[in-house]
Amino acid sequence: MKITVTGTRGIPGIQGGVETHCEELYPRLASLNYEVFLIRRSCYVSSDNKIRSYKGVELVDIFTLRKPSIEALLHTFLSVLKARTMGTDILHIHAIGPALLVPMARALGLKVVFTHHGPDYDRAKWGTVAKFMLRLGEKWGTKYANEVIVISNVIKDILKNKYRRSNTILIYNGFTPPVFNYGTDYIKTLGLEPQKYIFCLGRFVEEKGFDMLIRAFSDLNQNDCRLVIAGDADHETNYSKNLKKTAVQNKVILTGFIKGERLQQLFTNARLFILPSFHEGLPISLLEAMSYRLPVLVSDIPANKQVNLSDKNYFVTGDENSLKKGLYEWLKKDFQKADYDMSAYNWDLIAGKTASVYEKLAGNCKSSDQSILKETE
């Protein structure tokens, strides 16, 4: 069965939650003997990443303009046309912006799976017109896709209440099995010592709350603990420029976008993981931190609450004093690894459930596949 994937910037090693999701999911589906073609946005493909395949996934690069207001829509439009000419069996569209093209894909005779990764219209960076288009994408994707996958119960409830679609399929995000790296060569280059820094990562956008985190941490006047933020902006904005300036002024360590051994070393040796977001779908960064058995302190948005952490792991979203109090309480404790139930977030399980969606849509759903699907509803 030929599966064509769009709605992502691309893989491998491209920053973003949807990108990490696709990088983990589709090689596993390729190993299950699906013929997977993932369409990348050429403007995110670096010179050392111009490859034709990745772990069994065929990569197709298509042009788009690197502008937030148009890049996803233009790229998905061209991807749908490409999928039609390729004779794909199923087109899998990720995220609500690209989902605007679901009706077009259906009109061209394609079978479509749509994965809703979160209500992106809640992100602070979007203006009125963009928010309208994202809401329309959510509506059309939910209404016209053959099958709709949601990554959290929160999103499942949104689609049921807003659009009366109750047959969405719940398949969580997952985490990559941690590689514990107790080496210190990289963190030493940053001036860090094990268990003497707080760690967070993500894109430099307003809804991540990194500016609030910097203020709260700086107010604590910690002498024996540093704050480290990994990540960067996809598109440089006044917010991202000011964030970097504020970080330097407050002696916060910015690593840029990192992966591999450097990221493993930062996770392994951190004292506490922070996620101060105002908006998330189901944050993979949080799942990764939990897989490293790190203590975590996160905002009490619905997406974070559904992971079912203890009350001590949450602070009131957007409340700088609540965040500061949470930081103080965790930092005065002796460091101790945490234990979490991660069984629901296994990428192999997630790949199997996604394959069941494809088989059902293709009309080849076996009884065992049906039982897996029922477990997710």
CATH number at residue 85: 3.40.50.2000
**Contact indicator for 80, 110 with CB cutoff of 8 Å:** yes
User: Is the same domain home to 223 and 140?
Assistant: no
| Average pLDDT for 6-28 | 95
| pLDDT band at 67; cut points 50, 70, 90 | confident
The mean pLDDT of the chain is 93
Across the range 53-66, mean pLDDT stands at 96
Same domain? For 8 and 151 the reply is yes
Check pLDDT > 50 for residue 366.
Answer: no
Cβ count near 221 (within 10 Å): 6
Residues 189 and 170 placed together within one structural domain of the fold: no
Is there a single domain that holds both residue 260 and residue 371?
A: no
At 281 the pLDDT is 85
Whether the pLDDT of residue 125 is over 90: the answer is no
Q: What pLDDT is recorded for position 276?
A: 97
The whole-number pLDDT of residue 376 equals 39
Find the domain containing 90 and state its range: 2-174+346-376
| CA atoms of 185 and 180, how far apart (whole Å) | 14
Averaged pLDDT, 75-99: 97
In 3D space, the residue among 83, 146, 171, 151 whose CA is nearest the CA of residue 363 turns out to be 146
Asked whether residue 340 is assigned to any structural domain, the reply reads no
Same domain, 200 and 285: yes
- Look at residue 119 and tell me whether its pLDDT is greater than 50: yes
Do 195 and 168 lie in one domain? The reply is no
Confidence of residue 364 (pLDDT cuts 50, 70, 90): low
* Closest to 327 (Cα-Cα) out of 280, 295, 286, 300: 295
As for how many domains the chain has, the answer is: 2
C-alpha dist (Å) from residue 193 to 22, 222, 328? 33, 14, 19
- Say if residue 126's pLDDT is above 90: no
Sequence-separated (6 or more) residues with CB below 8 Å from residue 46: none
Q: Are residues 82 and 217 in the same domain?
A: no
3-class DSSP state of 128:
helix
69: confidence class by pLDDT, cuts 50, 70, 90:
confident
Kindly state whether residue 341 falls inside one of the protein's structural domains: no
* Amino acid of residue 165: R
Closest CA to 1 of 37, 27, 25: 37
What residues does 113 pair with on adjacent strands? 92, 147
User: What integer is the mean pLDDT of 351-367?
Assistant: 85
Cα atoms found within 13 Å of the Cα of residue 25, Cβ hemisphere only: 29
CA 141 – CA 135 distance, rounded (Å):
10
Token representation of residue 306: 């559904």
CA distance 266 to 166: 41
65 domain-assigned: yes
Identify whether the C-beta of residue 32 lies closer than 8 Å to the C-beta of residue 355: yes
The mean-pLDDT minimum among 120-129, 343-352, 365-374 falls in 365-374
The share of the chain scoring above pLDDT 70, in percent, equals 96
The gap between the terminal CA atoms of the chain, to the nearest Å, is: 24
Closest CA to 79 of 30, 112, 50, 33: 112
Q: Are residues 53 and 192 in the same domain?
A: no
129 and 218 together in one domain: no
Model pLDDT for residues 152-188, shown as the tens digit of each residue: 999 999 999 999 999 999 999 999 889 999 999 999 9
* Shared domain check, 127 and 205: no
CB 20 within 8 A of CB 47: no
- Verify that 278 and 357 share a domain, yes or no: no
Whether residue 339 lies inside any domain: the answer is no
| Residue whose structure tokens are 């109090």 | 325
